[in-house]
Amino acid sequence: MSKVLVSDPIDQAGIDILSQVATVDVKTGLKPAELIEIIGEYDALMIRSGTRVTQEIIEAGTQLKIIGRAGVGVDNVDVPAATRKGIVVVNSPEGNTIAAAEHALAMMLSLSRHIPDANASVKRGEWDRKTFVGAEVYKKTLGVVGLGKIGSHVASVARAMGMKLLAYDPFISTERAEQLGCQLVDLDLLFQQADYITLHIPKTPETTHLINAATLAKMKPTARIINCARGGIIDEAALAAAIKEGKIGGAALDVYESEPLGESELRSLGKDLILTPHLGASTSEAQVNVAIDVAEQIRDVLLGLPARSAVNIPGLSPDILEELKPYMQLAETLGNLVGQLVGGRVETLNVTLQGELATNKSQPLVVAALKGLLYQALRERVNYVNASIEAKERGIRVIETRDASVRDYAGSLHLEATGTLGTHSVTGALLGDKEIHLTDVDGFPINVPPTKYMLFTLHRDMPGIIGKLGSLLGSFNVNIASMQVGRKIVRGDAVMALSIDDPLPDGILDEITKVPGIRDAYTVTL
Ligand SMILES: NC(=O)C1=CN([C@@H]2O[C@H](COP(=O)(O)OP(=O)(O)OC[C@H]3O[C@@H](n4cnc5c(N)ncnc54)[C@H](O)[C@@H]3O)[C@@H](O)[C@H]2O)C=CC1
Ligand SMILES: O=C(O)CCC(=O)C(=O)O
């Protein structure tokens, strides 16, 4: 049974799903050295933001197949290191969207009405109504930086509260912004005009210290900043100075340059700065959502299925995956088959996506074909994550072609591989949307479902050859399950595809090629 380590607090709903397929150990609060010590035993690691999954931890995780982040941001995981090792990294892109958006909105209102400090003063026995005079958000301008999932929800609610919306997001269309009632503007204008600025962007080299002394100087002296995205987007020293000097109105922070927040000037500031301990995703609803979302993906990957929200498998969004799922197995099987027919080192793989597969969305099928192709060399070490990197490192040239012209099947896949020992091609399609069929081998039409053990011959189409091959296999005690011949012209060249019940015994291939009329024979295990 597989083993999963859960190293941060995760809702029980997730643990229950994992327990269906694995032994689950929940060990929270581990120090990096303790994690390194034990990670080698585990097939999967499930975390929240508390665990930093460094390259060292990934290298020590010799059995790791998947790292699941129960949340959005994967900045606490060394994703490139995981990719190099073929470890899938998954997250829950939407499970905590509402929780984080509502936290940002709560921070905006709390900051405007001094709720945390007013609450504390009443609890101290005071009744001070002067100090806590606030500001309304109605008719004020909210600048949303990052109009993705969380930013969009914040914008929708803020609009309903009567706020005017400006947004900055270089990757969002004007139409999308307009749908949300936002005017897309450049960052400088947003900084100059906004009464409230809310950040909903990832932390990247471009966004690190996006809010700094220079950008703070552009803001209104009454502007209030909310950061429920990532620590480090704001230069905390510059922010503390701006608040102290009255250069901006205040800030509300949920995330910090270093977490947990240690000794910091931020702690000494008064009612114009609100601090929460990274609570954006901390609602019971969000924790159930993200735990289920990520646990299901870990379960699927441990069962050999693809994950729907892998951050290190390009192009594999949940919708696309759902559409392509049946074809992924087809691509992998064809890749494995053509790799074995070619034998030796493959130099070029041509992948032709035909019919309804001739769209950009089908790119993951190329990765699946490579995974199959490399299976003989790498076995379980190759997966959807590292197949492209492994192919590149082996110098395999991959050529993708799309051919939308309608054929016998709605969609089919044609692979042609050239290696040091020659060139072979295979084509396959799905029957009834599910069943994989080989429809062509080396240009000869056939129609057989692939089976675990198969024998292919290239021979002359002439009387008696099938009988001779059958007798030869019989003399080696090989049972034939099914057989089909594909030919283009009568008595020309032909291909025979046989499904056999067991692997071919050693030495029999040489005997087969000695049968008059048989030019080549290939045995494959799929
Ligand atoms: N405080 C908390 O507990 C939580 C924090 N988060 C954080 O919130 C942030 C936003 O999350 P989502 O909305 O789910 O992500 P998302 O991916 O849906 O949206 C991010 C948006 O930022 C935009 N963007 C990227 N680079 C940008 C740049 N340089 N300038 C402006 N816009 C840029 C993208 O185009 C995208 O629209 C992430 O950093 C995430 O880690 C998410 C959940 C909980
Ligand atoms: O796990 C958490 O509570 C943090 C959530 C978060 O920051 C995220 O999902 O990006």
Q: Is residue 407 part of a domain?
A: yes
- 294 in the same domain as 236: no
- 73 in the same domain as 22: yes
Q: 157: part of which helix (H) or strand (E)?
A: helix 149-160
Ligand nearest the Cα of residue 155 is 1
Which residue's alpha carbon is nearest to atom 2 within ligand 1? Answer: 280
Q: Which amino acid type is present at position 332? A: E
CA of 73, closest atom in ligand 2: 10
Q: Is the CB of 445 under 6 A from ligand 1?
A: no
User: In the prediction, which pLDDT does 80 show?
Assistant: 83
The span from the CA of 67 to the CA of 298, in Å, is 8
pLDDT in tens, the chain (526 residues): 999 999 999 999 999 999 999 999 999 999 999 999 999 999 999 999 999 999 999 999 999 999 999 999 999 999 989 988 889 999 998 999 999 999 999 999 999 999 999 999 999 999 999 999 999 999 999 999 999 999 999 999 999 999 999 999 988 888 889 999 999 999 999 999 999 999 999 988 889 999 999 999 999 999 999 999 999 999 999 999 999 999 999 999 999 999 999 999 999 999 999 999 999 999 999 999 999 999 999 999 998 877 888 888 755 565 666 778 789 999 999 999 999 999 988 999 999 999 999 988 888 899 999 999 998 887 766 778 778 878 987 889 999 999 998 678 889 999 999 998 999 999 999 998 789 999 999 999 999 999 999 999 999 999 999 999 999 999 999 999 999 999 988 999 999 999 999 999 988 999 999 999 999 999 999 9
User: In the prediction, which pLDDT does 433 show?
Assistant: 74
Q: Is the CB of 102 under 6 A from ligand 1?
A: no
Q: Is the CB of 171 under 6 A from ligand 1?
A: yes
Q: Is residue 183 part of a domain?
A: yes
Count of C-beta atoms within a 10 Å radius of residue 138: 8
Rounded to the nearest 5 percent, the helix, strand and coil shares of the chain are 35, 25, 40
List phi, psi (to 5°) of 160: -65, -20
DSSP letter, residue 257: S
Domain boundary among 396, 419, 450: 450
User: Residue 496 is part of a domain; what is its CATH number?
Assistant: 3.30.70.260
By annotation, the residues acting in catalysis are 230, 259, 278
Q: Are 163 and 141 in contact (CB under 8 A)?
A: yes
Q: 105: part of which helix (H) or strand (E)?
A: helix 97-113
User: Residue 332 is part of a domain; what is its CATH number?
Assistant: 3.30.1330.90
User: In the prediction, which pLDDT does 385 show?
Assistant: 78
Any idea of the CA torsion for 98, 102, 104, 109, to the nearest 10 degrees? 170
Q: Which amino acid type is present at position 33? A: A
Q: Are 283 and 80 in contact (CB under 8 A)?
A: no
Q: Is the CB of 202 under 6 A from ligand 1?
A: yes
The span from the CA of 103 to the CA of 99, in Å, is 6
- 336 in the same domain as 406: yes
- 296 in the same domain as 336: no
In the reported structure, the alpha carbon of residue 26 is separated from the centroid of ligand 2 by a whole-number distance in angstroms of 18
- 294 in the same domain as 412: no
Which residue's alpha carbon is nearest to atom 1 within ligand 1? Answer: 280
Q: Which residues of 296-313 are buried (b: 16+ CB within 10 A; e: fewer)?
A: bbbbbbbeeebbbbbbbb
Q: Which residues pair with 444 in a beta bridge?
A: 441
Q: Which residues pair with 494 in a beta bridge?
A: 459, 487
Domain that holds residue 344: 313-450
ipTM score over 0.85, yes or no: yes
- 320 in the same domain as 442: yes
